[in-house]
């Protein structure tokens, strides 16, 4: 049932809890994954689909289904000048050194985080969305305006001890969302380039039983591929400092530790929006996007969008 903004009426929490095992089972069936590319089931996904349509009705942009929507990930080169990216990476280094909260116990071997990255690093990390090629590619994906739901900033470190997002996984976010990664250092095969599978291969692995669930993630899928006669063709982009990657984070992917040195990135989760990202940000304030990275809002409508569910 819908109200006039297209969102669903709330369901009583006791009822929600009682039906949760069924909705989890239903949402994770392979045919549901093939439809939505996540395990969230029809309720959340149909809210996001209706919302995406609502945003297109407010302001339609030409859509290009051959871009990131079909390729899974694309690299937009030279969004920042190398010298600007280098300077931001140096700034990151000194912020990390001086902030004991940049290290969290369970990922200390893998990464360091920079908290409140836009306030600390400056607005060039948001101004990238004014780049016409990047902005155009994102609009072509959504067919509408978009907003930044949250942003994150971290340095990946060399290690052999991998866990979390450093194992093959899907972020399990609603359909009609998009992830963006700004590289502040080069990230080739030996320096921490993210590895991807295509959406088609992701579906085949899902059907064969690999769902990238937290409890059963693997660092390598070559053996699984062999056991199930699946293609094994991970790929990556050779990113340079200043390049930006757009990717569907429901396709299987994993972070990779750099073999030497470190890799610095910012990531952003984007949602469709009725008005442009910068106007939305001017209404909501920086805190709304940089204090609480991770997850996605149960309701994507801007006035109701609180990140309640954590992604991978």
Ligand X SMILES: O=C(O)CCC(=O)C(=O)O
Shortest reach from residue 156's CB to ligand X, in Å: 6
Distances (CA, A) of 6 to 27, 56, 145, 299: 21, 13, 18, 10
Residue 92 as a binder of ligand X (CB under 6 A): the answer is: no
Residue 194 as a binder of ligand X (CB under 6 A): the answer is: yes
**From CA 229, how far away is CA 223, in angstroms rounded?**
10
Query: Which partner, Fe ion, ligand X, none, binds residue 241 by CB below 5 to 8 Å per kind?
Result: none
Residues 139-178 that bind ligand X (CB under 6 A): 165, 171
Residue 239 as a binder of ligand X (CB under 6 A): the answer is: no
Smaller CB separation from ligand X, 50 or 191: 191
Query: Which partner, Fe ion, ligand X, none, binds residue 217 by CB below 5 to 8 Å per kind?
Result: none
The CB-side HSE value for 306 (13 A sphere, CA atoms) comes to 2
Query: Which partner, ligand X, Fe ion, none, binds residue 170 by CB below 5 to 8 Å per kind?
Result: none
Shortest reach from residue 192's CB to ligand X, in Å: 6
Q: Which two tokens stand for residue 22?
A: 């069924």
**Residue 268 DSSP symbol:** E
Q: Which two tokens stand for residue 104?
A: 């969290």
Q: Which two tokens stand for residue 280?
A: 């939305």
**From CA 29, how far away is CA 27, in angstroms rounded?**
6
**Residue 73 DSSP symbol:** E
Query: Which partner, Fe ion, ligand X, none, binds residue 255 by CB below 5 to 8 Å per kind?
Result: ligand X
By beta carbon distance, the residue nearest Fe ion is: 171
Shortest reach from residue 118's CB to ligand X, in Å: 17
**From CA 296, how far away is CA 175, in angstroms rounded?**
11
Smaller CB separation from ligand X, 55 or 256: 256
Shortest reach from residue 257's CB to ligand X, in Å: 10
Smaller CB separation from ligand X, 246 or 305: 246
The 3-state DSSP class for residue 170 equals: coil
Residue 243 as a binder of ligand X (CB under 6 A): the answer is: no
Count of residues of this chain found to bind ligand X when the rule CB under 6 A is applied: 8
Shortest reach from residue 60's CB to ligand X, in Å: 29
Query: Which partner, Fe ion, ligand X, none, binds residue 37 by CB below 5 to 8 Å per kind?
Result: none
Helix count and strand count (H, E) for the chain = 12, 10
Q: Which two tokens stand for residue 295?
A: 């997850």
By CB under 6 A, name the one of 126, 255, 270, 289 that touches ligand X.
Answer: 255
Q: Which residues bind Fe ion (CB under 5 A)?
A: 165, 171, 312
Query: Which partner, Fe ion, ligand X, none, binds residue 202 by CB below 5 to 8 Å per kind?
Result: none
Q: Diameter of the chain by CA atoms?
A: 55
Nearest 5 degrees, angle CA 74-CA 114-CA 250? 35
Confirm if 48 and 175 have CB atoms less than 8 A apart.
yes
Shortest reach from residue 268's CB to ligand X, in Å: 10
> With CB under 6 A as the contact rule, which of the stretches 6-14, 211-219, 230-238, 249-257 interacts with ligand X?
249-257
> 246 pairs with which residues across the strands?
74, 180
**From CA 252, how far away is CA 271, in angstroms rounded?**
20
Q: Which residues bind ligand X (CB under 6 A)?
A: 165, 171, 179, 194, 249, 253, 255, 267
């Amino acid at each position: 049932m819908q109200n006039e903004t297209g969102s669903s009426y709330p369901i009583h929490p006791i009822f929600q809890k009682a039906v949760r095992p069924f909705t989890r089972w239903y949402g994770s069936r392979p045919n549901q994954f093939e439809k939505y590319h996540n395990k969230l089931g029809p309720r959340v996904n149909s809210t996001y689909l209706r919302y995406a349509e609502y945003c297109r009705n407010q302001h339609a942009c030409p859509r290009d289904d051959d871009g990131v929507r079909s390729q899974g990930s694309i690299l937009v080169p030279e969004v920042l000048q190398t010298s600007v990216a280098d300077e931001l990476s140096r700034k990151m280094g000194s912020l990390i050194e001086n902030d004991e909260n940049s290290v969290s116990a369970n990922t200390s071997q893998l990464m360091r985080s920079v908290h409140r990255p836009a306030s600390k690093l400056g607005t060039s990390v948001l101004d990238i969305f004014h780049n016409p090629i990047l902005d155009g590619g994102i609009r072509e994906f959504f067919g509408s305006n978009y907003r930044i739901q949250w942003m994150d900033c971290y340095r990946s470190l060399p290690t052999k001890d991998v866990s979390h997002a450093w194992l093959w996984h899907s972020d399990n976010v609603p359909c009609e969302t998009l992830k963006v990664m700004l590289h502040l250092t080069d990230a080739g095969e030996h320096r921490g380039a993210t590895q991807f599978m295509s959406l088609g291969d992701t579906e085949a692995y899902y059907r064969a039983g690999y769902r990238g669930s937290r409890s059963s993630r693997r660092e390598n899928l070559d053996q699984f591929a062999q056991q199930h006669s699946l293609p094994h063709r991970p790929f990556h982009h050779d990113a340079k400092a200043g390049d930006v990657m757009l990717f569907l984070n429901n396709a299987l992917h994993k972070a990779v530790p750099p073999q030497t040195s470190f890799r610095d990135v910012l990531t952003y989760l984007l949602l469709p929006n009725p008005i442009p990202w910068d106007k939305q940000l001017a209404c909501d304030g920086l805190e709304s996007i940089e204090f609480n990275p991770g997850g996605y809002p149960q309701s994507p409508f801007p006035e109701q969008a609180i990140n309640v569910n954590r992604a991978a």
